[in-house]
Protein backbone atom coordinates (compact mmCIF):
# COMPACT_ATOMS: atom_id res chain seq x y z
CA UNK A 1 0.00 0.00 0.00
CA UNK A 2 3.07 2.21 -0.13
CA UNK A 3 2.75 5.43 -2.14
CA UNK A 4 -0.87 4.80 -3.13
CA UNK A 5 -3.86 6.90 -2.25
CA UNK A 6 -7.30 5.51 -1.67
CA UNK A 7 -10.37 7.44 -2.75
CA UNK A 8 -13.50 7.51 -0.64
CA UNK A 9 -16.78 9.04 -1.76
CA UNK A 10 -18.60 11.32 0.62
CA UNK A 11 -22.42 11.63 0.82
CA UNK A 12 -22.31 14.53 -1.68
CA UNK A 13 -20.53 12.42 -4.30
CA UNK A 14 -17.23 14.29 -4.21
CA UNK A 15 -14.02 12.33 -3.89
CA UNK A 16 -11.84 12.60 -0.83
CA UNK A 17 -8.21 11.56 -1.23
CA UNK A 18 -6.74 9.91 1.79
CA UNK A 19 -2.98 9.71 2.21
CA UNK A 20 -2.02 6.27 3.57
CA UNK A 21 1.10 7.77 5.15
CA UNK A 22 -1.07 9.76 7.53
CA UNK A 23 -2.57 6.54 8.90
CA UNK A 24 -0.76 5.25 11.95
CA UNK A 25 0.47 1.77 11.14
CA UNK A 26 3.37 0.72 13.31
CA UNK A 27 5.91 -1.21 11.33
CA UNK A 28 8.89 -2.92 12.91
CA UNK A 29 12.14 -4.20 11.52
CA UNK A 30 15.30 -5.70 12.99
CA UNK A 31 18.57 -4.65 11.40
CA UNK A 32 22.26 -5.53 11.39
CA UNK A 33 24.85 -3.27 9.77
CA UNK A 34 28.22 -4.61 8.62
CA UNK A 35 31.45 -2.78 7.79
CA UNK A 36 33.36 -0.12 9.70
CA UNK A 37 30.50 0.72 12.06
CA UNK A 38 32.11 0.51 15.50
CA UNK A 39 34.33 3.25 16.90
CA UNK A 40 32.82 5.77 14.44
CA UNK A 41 29.79 6.97 16.47
CA UNK A 42 27.41 4.89 14.35
CA UNK A 43 25.06 4.20 17.29
CA UNK A 44 24.98 7.89 18.25
CA UNK A 45 24.06 8.96 14.73
CA UNK A 46 21.54 6.13 14.44
CA UNK A 47 19.82 7.32 17.62
CA UNK A 48 19.79 10.92 16.35
CA UNK A 49 18.31 9.88 12.99
CA UNK A 50 15.68 7.68 14.66
CA UNK A 51 14.66 10.50 17.00
CA UNK A 52 14.54 12.97 14.11
CA UNK A 53 12.09 10.62 12.35
CA UNK A 54 10.10 9.96 15.54
CA UNK A 55 11.01 6.27 15.61
CA UNK A 56 11.39 4.00 18.61
CA UNK A 57 13.59 1.00 19.34
CA UNK A 58 17.25 0.41 20.09
CA UNK A 59 20.71 -0.31 18.70
CA UNK A 60 23.90 -1.84 20.08
CA UNK A 61 27.38 -3.00 19.10
CA UNK A 62 27.92 -6.74 18.74
CA UNK A 63 30.96 -8.82 19.64
CA UNK A 64 31.62 -9.51 15.95
CA UNK A 65 31.92 -5.84 14.90
CA UNK A 66 28.42 -5.07 13.64
CA UNK A 67 25.62 -2.82 14.88
CA UNK A 68 22.37 -4.60 15.67
CA UNK A 69 19.04 -2.91 16.28
CA UNK A 70 15.27 -2.70 16.15
CA UNK A 71 13.11 0.13 14.78
CA UNK A 72 9.39 0.85 15.19
CA UNK A 73 7.28 3.57 13.60
CA UNK A 74 5.07 4.54 10.66
CA UNK A 75 5.94 2.43 7.62
CA UNK A 76 7.22 5.30 5.46
CA UNK A 77 9.50 6.51 8.27
CA UNK A 78 10.82 3.00 8.87
CA UNK A 79 11.60 2.80 5.13
CA UNK A 80 13.43 6.14 5.36
CA UNK A 81 15.46 4.82 8.29
CA UNK A 82 16.29 1.59 6.48
CA UNK A 83 17.61 3.59 3.53
CA UNK A 84 19.68 5.78 5.89
CA UNK A 85 21.14 2.69 7.58
CA UNK A 86 22.08 1.20 4.17
CA UNK A 87 23.58 4.32 2.62
CA UNK A 88 24.51 7.00 5.15
CA UNK A 89 25.29 6.05 8.76
CA UNK A 90 27.79 8.15 10.65
CA UNK A 91 30.15 10.47 8.73
CA UNK A 92 33.20 8.20 9.12
CA UNK A 93 31.46 4.82 8.87
CA UNK A 94 31.95 2.51 5.90
CA UNK A 95 28.82 0.45 5.42
CA UNK A 96 29.46 -2.80 3.55
CA UNK A 97 26.08 -4.43 4.00
CA UNK A 98 22.77 -3.88 5.78
CA UNK A 99 20.47 -6.78 6.61
CA UNK A 100 16.84 -6.33 7.60
CA UNK A 101 14.75 -9.08 9.20
CA UNK A 102 11.34 -9.67 10.75
CA UNK A 103 9.64 -6.73 9.03
CA UNK A 104 5.99 -6.70 10.08
CA UNK A 105 3.13 -4.51 11.25
CA UNK A 106 2.09 -4.11 14.88
CA UNK A 107 -1.02 -2.66 16.47
CA UNK A 108 0.98 -0.34 18.71
CA UNK A 109 4.48 0.58 19.84
CA UNK A 110 6.30 -1.68 22.29
CA UNK A 111 9.09 0.84 23.02
CA UNK A 112 8.79 4.35 24.44
CA UNK A 113 11.94 5.82 22.86
CA UNK A 114 15.03 4.94 20.83
CA UNK A 115 17.95 3.86 23.01
CA UNK A 116 21.56 2.78 22.72
CA UNK A 117 22.01 -0.53 24.51
CA UNK A 118 25.23 -1.63 26.17
CA UNK A 119 24.33 -5.31 26.67
Detail the DSSP E strand segments found in 4-55.
Answer: 6-9, 15-18, 26-36
Closest CA to 78 of 102, 96, 97: 102
Of 9, 12, 43, 83, the catalytic one is 43
Of 61, 83, 101, 117, the catalytic one is 61
**Catalytic site residue 101?**
no
**Catalytic site residue 61?**
yes
Please say whether the beta carbons of 77 and 50 come within 8 A.
no
Which residues participate in catalysis according to the annotation? 43, 61
Amino acid sequence: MCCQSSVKNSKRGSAKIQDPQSEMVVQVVDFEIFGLVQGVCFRKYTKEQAEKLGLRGWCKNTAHGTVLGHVQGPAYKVETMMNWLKTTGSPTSQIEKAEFRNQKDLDDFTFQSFDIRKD
